[in-house]
């Protein structure tokens, strides 16, 4: 008990230090636009930026077939409760063949379109504004072509500049009692398509429907339904594989096929869940 108390106290102390560091960092930045995807990293960043200085903060959320509907709903609901100046933008990546062909660096083309759209918000603010993302120091150890697009647009990453990793983000969110502190990682739906499998709204919607189906019937929080051309595989943790029964997969197939007519089969992946499985030409995480 005593050891656990010390650990908890240490976490709270670290959270307070990092929260103070972020507040100090923001005092040196003027107007800003936060790109908020609806995940814990960007939700916390947007929340803090707004609370530190609401008059100089605007939040931008991209709505597209690659963004889960629940992420958009989460941003809108939380933004309303916090009183954000929230703008929903059309990122436009579906007008880019470079993106739709789903190459290894698909994220570069996605983020390029996203930051171009958000930049229009920044330019409309009096004196201009700084674009910001929720990238953290853990992201720097992975293949993240979207960070190249960010560099090209002078996007700043407060967590990176302060030196904050993913777990510290969760600690800060917990210390503030934020409802999304335990939100599981859930990257864009396009991350479920194997490299080279063309990105289509139908495939993305099939993934979203399939994952919701599995979660609803199993209670699992982390599920990935990956697509390679006309086949889908379900990934869950090593200890959860028994929950993916033949009957469940048949139900997934039926539900997903209503969105993706070419789907010929659904199977349990031969291996347990591993982040970035759909990225097939190197190491990456989603």
Per-domain residue ranges of the chain? 2-175, 189-268
> What are the helix (H) ranges across 69-185?
69-82, 97-100, 106-124, 145-152, 158-162, 166-175
What is the pLDDT confidence band of residue 13, given thresholds at 50, 70 and 90?
A: confident
Distances (CA, A) of 239 to 112, 157, 220, 251, 275: 38, 36, 11, 21, 16
| pLDDT surpasses 90 at 276 | no
Distances (CA, A) of 146 to 113, 209, 283: 10, 26, 15
| Burial tier of 162 (Cβ tally within 10 Å: 0-12, 13-18, 19+) | middle
Cα separation, 139 vs 103, whole angstroms:
20
Widest distance between CA atoms in the chain: 59
Residue 10 confidence (pLDDT): 54
What is the pLDDT confidence band of residue 284, given thresholds at 50, 70 and 90?
A: very low
Q: What is the enclosing helix (H) or strand (E) of 142? A: none
Backbone φ and ψ of 24, nearest 5°? -65, -40
Q: What is the enclosing helix (H) or strand (E) of 181? A: none
Lowest mean pLDDT among 8-12, 185-189, 221-225, 274-278: 8-12
Q: Looking at per-residue confidence, does 236 or 285 come out higher?
A: 236
Q: What is the pLDDT of residues 54-112, one digit of tens each?
A: 999 999 999 999 999 999 999 999 999 999 999 999 999 999 999 999 999 999 999 99
Cα separation, 40 vs 194, whole angstroms:
25
Residue 281 confidence (pLDDT): 59
Distances (CA, A) of 53 to 28, 32, 48, 168, 228: 12, 10, 9, 22, 45
Q: What is the pLDDT of residues 239-255, one digit of tens each?
A: 999 999 999 999 999 99
Mean pLDDT of the chain: 93
| 231-235/224-228 β-pairing | antiparallel
* Angle, CA of 163, 168 and 169, to the nearest 5°: 95
Contact status, residue 70 vs residue 43, Cβ threshold 8 Å:
no
- CATH topology for the 2-175 domain: Rossmann fold (3.40.50)
Domain with residues 189-268, CATH architecture: 2-Layer Sandwich (3.30)
Distances (CA, A) of 144 to 30, 139, 190, 267, 276: 27, 7, 14, 29, 11
Quote the pTM value: 0.91
Q: What is the pLDDT of residues 108-156, one digit of tens each?
A: 999 999 999 999 999 999 889 999 999 999 999 988 999 999 999 999 9
Q: How many helices (H) and strands (E) does the chain have?
A: 10, 7
């Amino acid at each position: 008990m005593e050891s656990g108390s010390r650990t908890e106290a240490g976490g709270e102390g670290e959270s307070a230090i990092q929260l103070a560091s972020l507040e100090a960092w923001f005092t040196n930045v003027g107007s800003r636009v936060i790109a908020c995807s609806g995940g814990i990293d960007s939700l916390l960043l947007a929340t803090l930026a707004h609370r530190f200085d609401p008059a100089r903060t605007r939040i931008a959320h991209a709505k597209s077939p690659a963004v889960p509907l629940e992420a958009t709903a989460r941003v809108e609901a939380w933004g309303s409760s916090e009183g954000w100046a929230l703008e929903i933008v059309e990122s436009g990546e579906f007008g880019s063949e470079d993106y739709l062909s789903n190459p290894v660096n698909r994220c570069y083309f996605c983020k390029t379109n996203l930051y171009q759209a958000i930049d229009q918000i920044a330019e409309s603010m009096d004196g201009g504004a700084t674009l910001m993302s929720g990238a953290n120091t853990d992201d720097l150890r992975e293949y993240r072509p979207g960070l190249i697009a960010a560099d090209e647009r002078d996007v700043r990453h407060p967590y990176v500049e302060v030196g904050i990793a993913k777990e510290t983000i969760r600690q800060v969110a917990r210390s503030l009692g934020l409802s999304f502190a335990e939100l599981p990682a859930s990257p864009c739906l396009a991350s479920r398509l194997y490299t080279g499998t063309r990105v289509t709204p139908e495939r993305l919607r099939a993934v979203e429907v399939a994952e919701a189906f599995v979660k609803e019937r199993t209670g699992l929080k982390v599920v990935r339904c990956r697509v390679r051309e006309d086949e889908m595989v379900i990934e869950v943790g090593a200890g959860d594989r028994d929950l993916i029964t033949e009957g469940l997969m048949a139900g997934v197939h039926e539900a997903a096929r209503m969105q993706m007519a070419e789907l010929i089969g659904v199977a349990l992946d031969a291996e347990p869940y591993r982040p970035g499985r759909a990225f097939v030409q190197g190491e990456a995480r989603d």
